[in-house]
Amino acid sequence: MRTSQYIIATLKETPSDAEVISHQLMLRAGMIRRLASGLYTWLPTGLKVVRKVEAIVREEMDKAGAIEMLMPVVQPADLWIESGRWQEYGPELLRIKDRQNRDFALGPTHEEVITEFVRKEINSYKQLPLNLYQIQTKFRDEVRPRFGVMRSREFTMKDAYSFHLDQASLQETYDVMYQAYCNIFTRLGLDFRPVIADTGSIGGDASHEFHVLADSGEDDIAFSTESDYAANIEKAEAFAPQEKADTPTQELTLTDTPNAKTIAELVEQFNTPIEKTVKTLIVKASAECVADNGAEYVALIVRGDHELNEIKAEKLAFVAEPLEMATDEAIKEVMKASPGSLGPINCPIPVIVDRAAAVASDFSAGANQDGKHYFGINWERDLPLSQVADIRNVVEGDVSPCGKGTLTIKRGIEVGHIFQLGNKYSTAMNAGVLTESGKHQVLEMGCYGIGITRIVAAAIEQNHDKYGIKWPLALAPFTVAIVPMNMHKSHRIPDIAQKIYDELKAAGIEVLFDDRKERPGVMFNDMELMGIPHQIVIGERNLDTDQVEHKDRNSGEKTLLAIDKVVSFVVNKIKNI
RNA sequence: CGGUGUUUAGCGCAGCUUGGUAGCGCACUUCGUUUGGGUCGAAGGGGUCGAAGGUUCGAAUCCUUCAACACCGACCA
């Protein structure tokens, strides 16, 4: 490809709304442009990278025995009503009507469609197990699209769905997919970790996420220092403290705390350790709770230095799912006190206490009277300890749930997610086959997703420097850039450039020939910004000795090469990686 | 959904306080110059100042409403 016949839409300046490095570099390197919030146009260079990711994913999926197909983006509401997700999925599901006023949705995922397909087409146990996948556009009306294509509303995803007669078969395919995913991310040249995960709105049982480690990641991953345990913090269990609460040493006292509205202020003004405080969070109660004791809200208690884990909390029987924090007005009405003075003592609604907070002694908390806190609180002596649960996020240094080592926490970008769905959809939509004994049996399902376009961004997060993107060879939009110095000034330069260009192309290598009439610095900067792994610099300087220069984008290493050795040199470099 | 902020040329921004003919840098076009790391110079093109309404002799600037976009937050108890 010649730059003069291509779109090199590089930018010198960073657009002001791009926050993370991958978003900035994708804009600057001319890979993407924003059309509207969370919607991006892929320019030729960007699309080439997407296609590379797709190709690797496709190869590994095929190798793992999955079969490619393609389903529609637009899906009839009926299927979603049947699975129950027309109600469950919420506003992230973009709903549209056709000219007949029939309801449709833009597919955020395809469990319903694939299940509908399989229940019609697959009738016999002999056709199982089956693993079907597609690489296709998804639409999710995200609450807050951000970070460019990292969290966009429209994106490309590889989604696979497997169907089985029994759990053992599902487990087998799940393991194969787990391995295929490891192979994919390894081939993509990414530093990644599989982690134990929550199943989220898709539903189901076992689940692993694949995370690319990067500080800009939106998820916290907890790792054991001593084992290969790794879990999304949403899911990581906070181990129950082994010790019991210490014997009370303080009297319960009610103190005026007019200026202490937050834990931080309480700790500072009253010189109390933060571990000896608790915070009280008021959330909407579940229907079960309302039926049980009439309370519309419940109070969740975690230690002052801990954070509530919403995923854990919303799974509690008394807590409404999804989790909903009470408004200030509701808190005043129910608690007769304002946020900042809430606590478990004299609390008119059910109280659920985190395991760590449940072994605190002589601690302080709001008194449910504005501007007052209790100090020296002890469970059982001063108030009953009714419900205890794991409702906090793990923190660095916690004992690992696997029993070995302690936890450290890193940021990750979720690029893949595999689930064992069990029979959630197959039951709801009545997908089954006849078994060997002629009985109808509901199918077991697995599903396996990879965010194709997100991988492009994640790869940049992990591979860049101050000059731009440093593509892993497998993802580079072009393998080689030919950069001729002052081509218009002599015949020698363009002749040699053309010759090398033709030879590289003949060798099946993707070459970008920068034939623009630009100064050398402009070309160098553009090629480096775009992250092309190999540059061939052709200049008068070395031509008298029939040499050109090779520059490695990754190492910065420069090598003088005889003109007729260029192709073999590059070919050799490529195969060695 | 809440909070904060932004919106002026393709991009990055100034101008707004104190109303008076819309600017700068980059990019773009042309010419010259330069040529191994984003040359230098000259001349040009490009704007309903987010939209609508209002105040005023006069609005990018003041007022009202709306919209788009961004950031923060769903931890505040």
Q: pLDDT by residue (tens digit) across A112-158?
A: 999 999 999 999 999 999 999 999 999 998 888 888 999 999 999 99
The Cα A552–Cα A533 span in angstroms is: 6
Interatomic CA–C1' length for residue A7 and nucleotide B31, angstroms: 26
The Cα A545–Cα A473 span in angstroms is: 30
Interatomic CA–C1' length for residue A305 and nucleotide B4, angstroms: 27
- pLDDT, one tens digit per residue, over A509-568 is 999 999 998 999 999 999 999 999 999 999 998 999 999 999 999 999 999 999 999 999
Which one of A308-317, A402-411, A545-554 scores highest in mean pLDDT? A545-554
> Can you give the pLDDT at residue A337?
82
Interatomic CA–C1' length for residue A159 and nucleotide B66, angstroms: 41
Among A172-181, A289-298, A424-433, A489-498, which is the least confidently predicted range? Answer: A289-298
A415 has a pLDDT exceeding 90: yes
A299-327 b/e (C-beta count within 10 Å ≥ 16 → b):
bbbbbbbbebbbbbbbebebbbeebebbe
> Can you give the pLDDT at residue A82?
94
Q: A235 with A197: CB under 8 angstroms?
A: yes
Question: Mean pLDDT over residues A351-369, rounded?
Answer: 90
Residue nearest to nucleotide B76 (CA to C1'): A339
Is residue A204 very low, low, confident or very high in pLDDT (cuts 50, 70, 90)?
low
Interatomic CA–C1' length for residue A476 and nucleotide B33, angstroms: 37
> Can you give the pLDDT at residue A201?
55
Between residues A2 and A371, the one the model is more confident about? A2
A9 has a pLDDT exceeding 70: yes
A203 has a pLDDT exceeding 60: no
The Cα A65–Cα A62 span in angstroms is: 5
> What does A273-320 look like in DSSP terms, one character per residue?
-GGGBEEEEEEEBPHHHHHHH--SEEEEEEETT--B-HHHHHTSTTB-
> Can you give the pLDDT at residue A260?
78
Strand B within 7 A of A151 CB: no
Helix, strand or coil, per DSSP, at residue A399: strand
Strand B within 7 A of A11 CB: yes
The Cα A303–Cα A326 span in angstroms is: 19
Strand B within 7 A of A577 CB: no
> Can you give the pLDDT at residue A435?
95
Interatomic CA–C1' length for residue A36 and nucleotide B67, angstroms: 14
Between residues A29 and A575, the one the model is more confident about? A29
Strand B within 7 A of A36 CB: yes
Nucleotides of B under 7 A from a protein CB: 1, 11-13, 25-27, 34-39, 68-77
Interatomic CA–C1' length for residue A530 and nucleotide B56, angstroms: 53
- pLDDT, one tens digit per residue, over A216-271 is 888 889 988 888 888 888 888 888 888 888 889 999 999 888 877 778 778 888 88
Question: Mean pLDDT over residues A11-36, rounded?
Answer: 90
A 500-519: CB within 7 Å of strand B: 519
Q: A71 with A104: CB under 8 angstroms?
A: no
Q: A212 with A472: CB under 8 angstroms?
A: no
Strand B within 7 A of A347 CB: no
Q: Which nucleotide is nearest to A468 (CA to C1')?
A: B38
Strand B within 7 A of A15 CB: yes
- pLDDT, one tens digit per residue, over A453-469 is 999 999 999 999 999 99
Interatomic CA–C1' length for residue A509 and nucleotide B29, angstroms: 36
| Mean pLDDT, all residues of chain A | 90
Question: Mean pLDDT over residues A2-9, rounded?
Answer: 92
Strand B within 7 A of A261 CB: yes
Interatomic CA–C1' length for residue A523 and nucleotide B12, angstroms: 22
A54 has a pLDDT exceeding 90: yes
